[in-house]
């Protein structure tokens, strides 16, 4: 991985965890769904793919909640979605 | 075209709903109780002579020109100070009155220079007009008596002069400064014959407290206070109403013209946002439109190290289009994008997102609202269902408790601040949450009940603590919550905020705000009557910006402060069209009206209309674009009206991103900082040169009217149309109104808005549609847009930007009254008289520790970078906090700000950066390098210049 690509992955991990910290206070299932749907609603497919791939490779640096949400996202990704609902 | 004329009724309108009937000169008239006789007469077209009265301010009764006779009453009362009474019979013209008025006039004229022919206000002078009206033919006293004709002029203010020789001491200016502006800068110095208007303690205007709003100039009936532009050009011959292009207040102005030359801007009394008032920027700072730095010809270059080459418009469009296409062909559909600005009209923004979605075939469109109010979109959208302030500005007249959070209205939103100050002088209470002691904390006749000087970055903790007090002390408006909000979510929230870790006592430690102060503020907010929240970038520009907006929404819902006049949650928008930019679908995940791109029905509607397929996945935000550029996957961008290099955080990163792109197209008035990295420069037009609409902070859609032909050749919307056409995207609009028609046809909140509607009613607040044909001043009246109001848990998460041994101080950034955003416009006006450079505000204690004196050059460094500027030692900032503005590119404050951002929206954390400050002897290497590089990159090819 080039230096720039590594830096940008690091940023994505940071961002995903940061979003997770907002949802962490909610009930567990709600928090996972909230975080996953946030990524789906606001992240580009390329950004999501990168983080999913990173999880596949072990997900170093991802908080436990973030890991769960990214896993959930991976499952949902293949299905058609309409993320017009609330976060 | 003719002049837009406004009637001066002499005294303000009465708000009473009871009416009174009386007879004036034989005509019966019915007016609201409390109306003056003068105003009642004007209602039927009878103009009673007057000098000291004007309807922007309360009557004063000093000139004695407006006398009338009332049957059954002795004497000749002043009609401006005498209210109407039922059955009253008034005569405005009798032999006695004629003689009295002539006598009064004679006295005035005997001490007034008789240079009408060469006077700047000749033809537009109330003294001159009234002398004519009362039939003055002679001045028996002669002109040789004691007079003030040799008094010296004060020309210190860059925009207006004060010529005391012409002053009739009517006090209108003084009252305007007090009542309309609320600055109290003027007084009468001396007594009797010696009395003179004085700014401050007989200081020149520029050195006084005066903020140059111009209210006094507008109120002055003579040439005593007059615009320098009028002295220079003469009186205007036609005018049109347009909207200020600076801040989110959205003041309406009569632009007074002579041919295609702008003579002056006069705030429009019918402007619903400003009611005839303005600030220094809107009224005076339009000189940039004709500044020599303005670029008027399109330019291109192959490499950013080349000098610019001026080309024809056709060549510029063809080159830009072919480059963007080439980049896309080589690097993929997602390798290009567009950025719009909150300075653009609604129509321009709509076109840019259309060009990106329909032409570029992706959703890579973003707006500079990203860096200011995107958390408002997320927060209010989540809580209430739509991303907008809940009230109109006039709602403040019904407010009992004003809570200002992270905003500095007197500098950022001056005209609304004047309105707010008026309400505060009437007795409304005030709570301020801000790390700085903003002016409103203590200003003439206004004092905050509670100022919570919280440590930067602790908004969420403090707001949740306020909620803690409201819930645990039983101050919740349960009836409201049960009826209007989701009760289960509320209960979960109430349980959360009640936890001891959210108590004021616990929060006092992190925030630095004493617990008792938090408790008192919470009680006042909950129990003080109608409470309204006004907030600014001090809320949004944090890593927890969106959480903070949600916390504000929670407070308002819990106390029932929503859905009627006098209450609400109101973002004070920075730039003029932040609201509109967001509404128009310029975010990468949303189409107009905040509808997500994954919404099939909405996408299908646009797809049919535009004949394309729209990507159902969100596109890139500005920071994503820059990251991808550095990464090598994002290569081309079209930027209209936005200077990301100066305004976005972490300048080094922005510069690296731009430098990595192969095609940067910039459309702007000036070669801005971003243009240093551009390959195509499309010269833009000013708001004076185009048609369109702006939407202000209260959702008010107002017209921008073209007053002169674009000096660059095209209005901005036409440039986007032509670029789109060059790229093969069909856009065929004959005028900007047709774009608005397309917006109305596709956007439910705008369905009822058109140029015709705005011409008819002046302005409307969206939603304006079949359900709300005349617009919507107050939102969420019976139910929230989303149905039930949503309480969301707001856990405080400390920012990762922490002060420590290396960077022990916290930097927060802001703006000042006389400048606007990155200053590209205001720096090119005489406004530099007030703020020639950015300064670093530092507390005396911190300054002393570092051996700094006021005015010293200091180096400001963070982990992102360093810059130098001069220090201003002040107690306005708390110890441990430093503050600066970013109006001047030399300062490059954003070299220092980091890439931390709001968790939900990536709105940058401008308000907290850990820094160190040390004495310095001059610019940093980066500043030097940057200056050299900008000079280099701004070169325009000699050969073309020679050919001119
Ligand atoms: S310009 Fe405004 S602030 Fe200055 S003296 Fe006049 S009214 Fe007061
Ligand atoms: S400066 Fe103008 S408004 Fe003020 S007292 Fe003199 S004449 Fe009246
Ligand atoms: S800058 Fe804002 S307050 Fe000032 S005139 Fe313009 S819209 Fe009004
Ligand atoms: S206008 Fe009434 S006293 Fe001056």
Q: What SS3 class is residue B499?
A: coil
Residue B569 and residue B376: Cα distance in Å, rounded? 10
Pocket test for ligand 1, best of B212, B219, B267 (most atoms within 8 A of CB): B212
Ligand 1, atom nearest to B219 Cα: 7
Question: In a mutagenesis test of the B interface, which of A17, A21, A84 is the best target, namely the one with the most B β-carbons within 10 Å?
Answer: A84
Question: Cβ(B211) to ligand 1 under 6 A?
Answer: yes
Pick the CATH number of B19-133 from 1.10.10.10, 2.40.50.100, 3.10.20.740, 3.30.70.141: 3.10.20.740
Residue B660 and residue B52: Cα distance in Å, rounded? 64
What is the CA B795 to chain-centroid distance, rounded?
A: 32
Strands lying side by side in the sheet with B252-258: B238-243, B252-258, B261-267
Beta-ladder partners of B471: none
Q: What SS3 class is residue B14?
A: coil
Question: Which superfamily, per CATH, for B389-412+423-565?
Answer: Dimethylsulfoxide Reductase, domain 2 (3.40.228.10)
Cβ neighbourhood burial of B135 (10 Å; 0-12, 13-18, 19+) = exposed
Give kind and range of the element (H or E) at residue B871. Answer: strand B866-873
Nearest C-alpha neighbor of A9 from the set A73, A54, A72, A76: A54
Which class would CATH give B160-290?
alpha beta
Question: Cβ(B170) to ligand 4 under 6 A?
Answer: no
Residue B237 and residue B258: Cα distance in Å, rounded? 5
What phi and psi, each to the nearest 5 degrees, are found at residue B171?
70, 5
Per-residue model confidence (pLDDT) at position A77: 63
| Ligand 2 cavity residues, CB under 6 Å | B 167-173, 197, 219-222, 224-225
Q: Tell the CATH topology of B809-935.
A: Barwin-like endoglucanases (2.40.40)
Give B906's contacts in chain A (Cβ within 8 Å): 15
Residue B222 and residue A41: Cα distance in Å, rounded? 60
Quote the minimal CA–CA distance from A3 to chain B in Å. Answer: 9
* Contact of B421 with B603, CB cutoff 8 Å: no
Domain ranges of chain A: 3-79
Per-residue model confidence (pLDDT) at position B945: 44
Low-confidence ranges of chain A (pLDDT < 70): 1-4, 76-87
3-state per-residue secondary structure call for B404-444:
EECCCHHHHCHHHHHHHHHHHHCCCEEEEECCCCCHHHEEC
Question: What ipTM score was computed for the predicted complex, to two decimals?
Answer: 0.89
Predicted model pTM? 0.91
B828-841 b/e (C-beta count within 10 Å ≥ 16 → b): bbbbbebbeebbbb
Nearest C-alpha neighbor of B316 from the set B720, B881, B901: B720
* E strand segments, B252-390: 252-258, 261-267, 299-300, 309-310, 336-340, 365-367
Q: B904, A22: Cβ pair inside 8 Å?
A: yes
pLDDT tens for each residue of B248-287: 899 999 999 999 999 999 999 999 999 999 999 999 998 8
Per-residue model confidence (pLDDT) at position B822: 62
What phi and psi, each to the nearest 5 degrees, are found at residue B543?
-65, -20
Q: Is B170 left (phi over 0), alpha (psi -120 to 50) or beta?
A: alpha
Q: Tell the CATH topology of B299-372+578-765.
A: Rossmann fold (3.40.50)
Per-residue model confidence (pLDDT) at position B799: 84
Residue B322 and residue B319: Cα distance in Å, rounded? 5
Domain ranges of chain B: 19-133, 160-290, 299-372+578-765, 389-412+423-565, 809-935
Residue B190 and residue A32: Cα distance in Å, rounded? 73
Per-residue model confidence (pLDDT) at position A35: 94
Low-confidence ranges of chain B (pLDDT < 50): 944-948
Residues of B with CB under 8 A from a CB of A: 334, 378, 382, 496, 543-544, 546-547, 588-589, 595-596, 598-600, 617-621, 624, 627-628, 630-633, 786, 790, 793, 795, 797, 899, 903-906
* Contact of B827 with B819, CB cutoff 8 Å: yes
Residue B63 and residue A18: Cα distance in Å, rounded? 66
Residue B52 and residue B80: Cα distance in Å, rounded? 9
Beta-ladder partners of B404: B432, B534
């Amino acid at each position: 991985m080039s230096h720039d690509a590594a830096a940008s992955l690091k940023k994505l991990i940071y961002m995903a965890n940061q979003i997770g910290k907002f949802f962490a206070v909610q009930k567990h299932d709600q928090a996972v769904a909230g975080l996953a749907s946030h990524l789906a609603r606001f992240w580009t497919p390329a950004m999501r793919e990168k983080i999913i791939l990173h999880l596949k490779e072990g997900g170093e640096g991802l908080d436990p909640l973030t890991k769960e949400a990214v896993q959930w996202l991976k499952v949902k990704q293949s299905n058609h979605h309409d993320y017009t609902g609330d976060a | 075209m003719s002049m837009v004329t406004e009637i001066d009724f002499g005294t303000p309108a009465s708000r009473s709903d009871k009416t009174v009937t009386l007879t004036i000169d034989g005509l019966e008239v019915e007016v609201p109780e409390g109306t003056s006789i003068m105003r009642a007469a004007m209602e039927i077209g009878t103009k009673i002579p007057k000098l000291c009265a004007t309807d922007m301010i309360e009557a004063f009764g000093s000139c004695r020109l407006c006398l009338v006779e009332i049957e059954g009453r002795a004497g000749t009362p002043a009609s401006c100070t005498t209210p109407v009474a039922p059955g009253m019979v008034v005569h405005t013209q009798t032999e006695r009155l004629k003689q009295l008025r002539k006598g009064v006039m004679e006295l005035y004229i005997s001490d007034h220079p008789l240079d009408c022919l060469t006077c700047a206000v000749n033809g537009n002078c109330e003294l001159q007009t009234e002398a004519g009206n009362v039939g003055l033919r002679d001045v028996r006293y002669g002109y040789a008596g004691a007079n003030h004709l040799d008094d010296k002029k004060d020309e210190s203010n860059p925009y207006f002069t004060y010529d005391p020789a012409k002053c009739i001491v009517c006090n209108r200016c003084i009252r305007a400064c007090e009542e309309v502006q609320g600055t109290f800068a003027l007084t009468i110095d001396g007594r009797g014959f010696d009395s003179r208007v004085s700014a401050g303690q007989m200081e020149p205007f520029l050195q006084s407290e005066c903020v140059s709003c111009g209210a006094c100039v507008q109120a002055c009936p003579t040439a005593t206070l007059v615009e320098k532009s009028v002295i220079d050009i003469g009186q205007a011959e036609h005018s049109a109403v347009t909207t200020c292009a600076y801040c989110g207040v959205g003041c309406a102005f009569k632009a007074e013209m002579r041919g295609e030359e702008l003579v002056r801007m006069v705030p429009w009394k019918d402007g619903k946002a400003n009611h005839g008032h303005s600030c220094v920027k809107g009224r005076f700072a339009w000189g940039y439109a004709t500044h020599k730095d303005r670029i008027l010809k399109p330019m291109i270059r192959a490499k950013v190290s080349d000098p610019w080459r001026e080309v024809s418009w056709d060549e510029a469009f063809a080159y830009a289009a072919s480059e963007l296409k080439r980049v896309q062909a080589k690097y993929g559909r997602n390798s290009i994008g567009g950025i719009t600005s909150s300075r653009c009209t609604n129509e321009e923004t709509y076109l840019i997102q259309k060009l990106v979605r329909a032409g570029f075939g992706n959703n890579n469109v973003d707006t500079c609202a990203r860096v200011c109010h995107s958390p408002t979109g997320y927060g209010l959208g989540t809580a209430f269902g739509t991303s907008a302030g809940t009230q109109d500005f006039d709602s403040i007249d019904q407010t009992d408790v004003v809570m200002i959070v992270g905003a500095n209205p007197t500098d950022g939103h001056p005209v609304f601040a004047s309105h707010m100050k008026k309400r505060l002088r009437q007795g409304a209470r005030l709570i301020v949450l801000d790390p700085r002691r903003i002016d409103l904390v203590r200003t003439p006749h206004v004092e905050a009940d509670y100022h919570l000087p919280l440590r930067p970055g602790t908004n969420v903790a403090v707001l949740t603590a306020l909620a803690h007090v409201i819930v645990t002390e039983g101050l919740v408006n349960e009836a409201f919550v049960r009826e209007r909000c989701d009760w289960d979510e509320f209960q979960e929230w109430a349980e959360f905020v009640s936890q001891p870790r959210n108590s004021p006592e616990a929060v006092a430690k992190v925030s630095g705000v004493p617990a008792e102060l938090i408790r008192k503020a919470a009680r006042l907010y909950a129990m003080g009557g109608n409470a309204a929240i006004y907030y600014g970038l001090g809320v949004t520009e944090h890593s927890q910006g969106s959480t903070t907006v949600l916390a504000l929404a929670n407070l308002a819902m819990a106390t029932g402060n929503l859905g009627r006049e006098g209450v609400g949650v109101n973002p004070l928008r920075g730039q003029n069209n932040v609201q509109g930019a967001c509404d128009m679908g310029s975010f990468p995940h949303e189409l107009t009206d905040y509808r997500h791109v994954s919404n099939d029905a909405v996408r299908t509607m646009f797809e049919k209309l535009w004949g394309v397929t729209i990507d159902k996945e969100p596109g890139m935000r500005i920071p994503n674009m820059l990251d991808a550029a550095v990464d090598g996957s994002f290569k081309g961008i079209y930027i209209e009206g936005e200077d990301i290099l100066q305004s976005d955080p972490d300048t080094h990163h922005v510069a690296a991103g731009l430098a990595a792109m192969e095609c940067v197209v910039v459309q702007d008035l000036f070669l801005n900082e971003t243009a240093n990295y551009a390959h195509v420069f499309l010269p833009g037009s000013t708001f004076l040169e185009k048609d369109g609409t702006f939407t202000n902070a209260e959702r008010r859609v107002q017209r921008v009217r073209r007053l002169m032909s674009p000096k660059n050749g095209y209005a901005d919307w036409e440039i986007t149309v032509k670029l789109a056409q060059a790229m093969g995207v069909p856009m065929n609009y004959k005028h900007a109104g047709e774009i608005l028609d397309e917006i109305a046809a596709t956007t439910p909140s705008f369905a009822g808005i058109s140029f015709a509607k705005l011409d008819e009613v002046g302005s409307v607040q969206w939603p304006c549609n079949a359900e709300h044909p005349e617009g919507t001043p107050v939102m969420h009246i019976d139910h929230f847009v989303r149905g039930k109001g949503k309480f969301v848990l707001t856990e405080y998460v400390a920012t990762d930007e922490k002060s420590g041994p290396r960077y022990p101080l916290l930097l927060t950034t802001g703006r000042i009254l006389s400048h606007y955003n990155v200053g590209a416009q205001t720096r090119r006006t005489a406004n530099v008289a007030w703020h020639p450079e950015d300064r670093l505000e530092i507390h005396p204690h911190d300054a002393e520790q570092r051996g700094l004196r006021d005015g010293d050059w200091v180096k400001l460094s963070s982990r992102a970078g360093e810059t130098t500027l001069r220090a201003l030692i002040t107690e306005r900032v708390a110890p441990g906090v430093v503050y600066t503005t970013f109006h001047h590119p030399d300062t490059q404050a954003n070299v220092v700000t980091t890439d931390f951002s709001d968790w939900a929206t990536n709105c940058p954390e401008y308000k907290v950066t850990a820094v160190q400050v040390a004495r310095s002897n001059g610019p940093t290497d980066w500043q030097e390098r940057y200056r050299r590089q900008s000079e280099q990159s701004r070169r325009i090819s000699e050969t073309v210049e020679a050919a001119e």
